[in-house]
Amino acid sequence: MIRPERIALLARTFYFLRHGETENNRLQLIAGSTDVELNDAGRAQARAAVDLVRPLGIAHVVSSDLRRARETAAVIAQALALPHAVVPGLAERNWGVLEGKPRHLRTRGVTPPGAETADQYFLRTRAALAAIAAPGTPLVIAHSGTFRVLCRLLALEAAAEPVANCRPVRFTPPAREGEGWMLELL
């Protein structure tokens, strides 16, 4: 098991950005591991996010391999002339038979047929986060599920609230022993 203190990403300030909007988001359908693209609003959000992250001192961009995250990351990395690495393990949770279905059909704590369990998803995502090792301040572009795993790893309560599409989030490590991580929506 990889402990949070052994994950290089979690030893420094880093930024997270959920991908731009998709039609599944707009229609409140579960996309999960389905490889959906950004819609026009999502592409505009990705372009607007460039100005939001430009002053943050980002050194490199890391994204999920799902198209919606890769597209968002490509727009930002290209505009800021930053390297972009794809980490497949950052992909959203596979929801099995619920993929493409309305979000309200999900039941907390219940794994639908054909889906990853919450623990499987957590372990996969934690391993993917541990693979992010490049120096400098990273921007991780992934999914709402990735955000929830980060919050769980860092003992942050914000995971109950979904993070908005293309809204940067700063994760700051504790300033002193015994203090907790800070999360700031930018």
Q: Which residues are the active-site residues?
A: 19, 92
Residue 137's nearest CA partner among 15, 48, 50 is: 15
Strand partners, 141: 17, 63
Is the separation of the CB atoms in 59 and 108 below 8 Å? no
3-class SS of residue 65: coil
Give the H or E element holding residue 70.
Answer: helix 67-80
Is the separation of the CB atoms in 2 and 123 below 8 Å? no
Q: Locate tokens 């972009």: which residue?
A: 84
Give the H or E element holding residue 125.
Answer: helix 118-130
Say how far apart CA 68 and CA 74 lie, in whole Å: 10
